[in-house]
Amino acid sequence: MRVLGIETSCDETAAAVVEDGHRVLSSVVRSQDALHAPWGGVVPEVAGRAHVESLGAVVEEAQGRAGAGPEAVAVTSGPGLVGSLLVGVAWARAHAWALGLPLAAVDHLESHCYAARMDHPDLAYPYLALLVSGGHTAVYLCEAPGRQRALGRTRDDAAGEAFDKVASMLGLGYPGGPAVERAARGGDPAAVAFPRPLPAGGPHGLDFSFSGLKTAVLYAVRGQDARGTAASSGLPVADLAASFQEAVVDCLVARALEAARRTGVRRLALGGGVGANGRLRSRLVEAGGEAGLDVRLPGAALCTDNAAMVAGLGYHLLAAGRVAPADLAVRPRG
Ligand code: KG4
Ligand code: ZN
């Protein structure tokens, strides 16, 4: 079954056609980075309007490249920016209705957790998913399509948000994640001993926290220690970037391994934009391998927002009989 996927939850306008949940016939992502860069972050009004302007052409391109028409439509219905979600959901509803096709409502976070199964269809449930994006950072237990629960999540900033803010402190531009990763090459990850906060509380004791780390970077950039007194200023940007990245990666890897130890689940997937980070990918594979885990990484293009993962998960939801109503509403909070 060929499913047309639509993704407009934040600042990428994306459409894809995927066969049987994993064979990508086409995947088109139109980034809005250039529109938001002057503000150093996503401006919701601008994002919604840009989706309206681009979505028709993006879908046409995806359908044209796929070569055959879709047999179903899947769309991200939340969480995300309400104005952005509305554009995709309205479009998908109308398209499905006009062509008489079934419609699937996909949760954006679950689609990130599903992305690894696009490249590794043999990844069986249950599996753990470390989801690290610009808006969310969490570790999930994925039990079946449409069924997963968070074992731990960030109490403050998402890891991607911390990358973006640190990039701005270091004058590296937007979006920050890839810029910090580039700057970190050649830097010494041990140059600054940044904190690695791992909150002990939370329902499962597996929560994350990145705001303290972000503040520590700010002090280091200003050449102050945590009490605000003058200290070691003039650190190279490469060393600051590498030390920050290492601290984030340490926290993420530690939590994922701890989740595996506590649940006894040996399969671990990675997802979300920060999942494109090379240092995170290699450390997760290395540490996971040492702990005897089966670690599955999606390709970098499947980590950042895309519609292929939406179409892929949508296929399984429809196969399980989960057809969305014709008046499907958006769920900005998930
Ligand atoms: O999943 P995503 O595309 O959108 C959300 O749903 O949030 O994630 C975007 C986030 C941004 O914060 C971006 O800076 C970060 O992912 N990111 C990276 C890398 N590529 C994207 N962070 C670290 N290293 C990267 N290579
Ligand atoms: Zn996302």
Angle at 185 between CA 183 and CA 188, to 5 degrees: 100
Residue at 329 is within a domain: no
Residue at 65 is within a domain: yes
pLDDT in tens, 198-239: 998 778 889 999 999 999 999 998 876 655 555 555 789 999
Residue 275 CB less than 6 A away from ligand 1: no
Residue at 14 is within a domain: yes
Residue at 326 is within a domain: no
With 0-12 CB in 10 A as exposed, 13-18 as middle and 19+ as buried, what is 211? Answer: middle
Residue 80 CB less than 6 A away from ligand 1: no
Same domain, residue pair 56 and 155: no
Least confident of 148-162, 165-179, 269-283, 311-325: 165-179
187, 241 in Cβ contact below 8 A? yes
210, 156 in Cβ contact below 8 A? yes
What tokens were used for 124?
A: 């069986």
pLDDT in tens, 263-291: 999 999 999 999 999 999 999 999 999 99
Same domain, residue pair 165 and 199: yes
Residue 64 three-state SS: helix
Q: Residue 238 C-alpha to ligand 1 middle, in angstroms?
A: 19
pLDDT in tens, 177-186: 999 999 999 9
Omega of the bond leading into 126 within 30 degrees of 0 (cis): yes
Q: Residue 34 C-alpha to ligand 1 middle, in angstroms?
A: 15
Residue 176 CB less than 6 A away from ligand 1: yes
The average confidence (pLDDT) of the chain is 95
Same domain, residue pair 166 and 286: yes
Same domain, residue pair 165 and 204: yes
Phi, psi dihedral angles at 6 (to 5 degrees)? -130, 130
Same domain, residue pair 22 and 94: yes
Candidates 163, 182, 244, 305: which one to mutate for ligand 1, based on the most atoms within 8 Å of Cβ?
A: 163
Residue at 330 is within a domain: no
| Res. 83 pLDDT band, cuts 50 70 90 | very high
Q: Residue 31 C-alpha to ligand 2 middle, in angstroms?
A: 13
Q: Residue 177 C-alpha to ligand 1 middle, in angstroms?
A: 6
Radius of gyration of the chain (CA): 20
Residue at 40 is within a domain: yes
Same domain, residue pair 128 and 268: yes
- Which residue range forms the structural domain that includes residue 24? 2-113+304-319
pLDDT in tens, 91-114: 999 999 999 999 999 999 999 999
Q: What's the predicted TM-score (pTM) here?
A: 0.95
Q: Residue 304 C-alpha to ligand 2 middle, in angstroms?
A: 6
Neighbours of ion ligand 2 (CB under 5 A): 133, 305
Residue at 284 is within a domain: yes
Same domain, residue pair 245 and 268: yes
Same domain, residue pair 143 and 214: yes
Residue 21 CB less than 6 A away from ligand 1: no
Given the CA of residue 272, which atom of ligand 1 is nearest to it? Answer: 1
Measured from the Cβ of residue 306, the count of other Cβ atoms closer than 10 Å reads: 26
What's the pLDDT at 203? 81
Same domain, residue pair 158 and 276: yes
| CATH classification at residue 81 | 3.30.420.40
Q: What is the C-alpha to C-alpha distance for residues 208 and 247, in angstroms, rounded to an integer?
A: 12
Residue 163 CB less than 6 A away from ligand 1: yes
Structural domains counted in the chain = 2
Same domain, residue pair 90 and 166: no
Same domain, residue pair 181 and 283: yes
Q: Whose CA is nearest to atom 23 of ligand 1?
A: 177
Residue at 118 is within a domain: no
Same domain, residue pair 207 and 275: yes
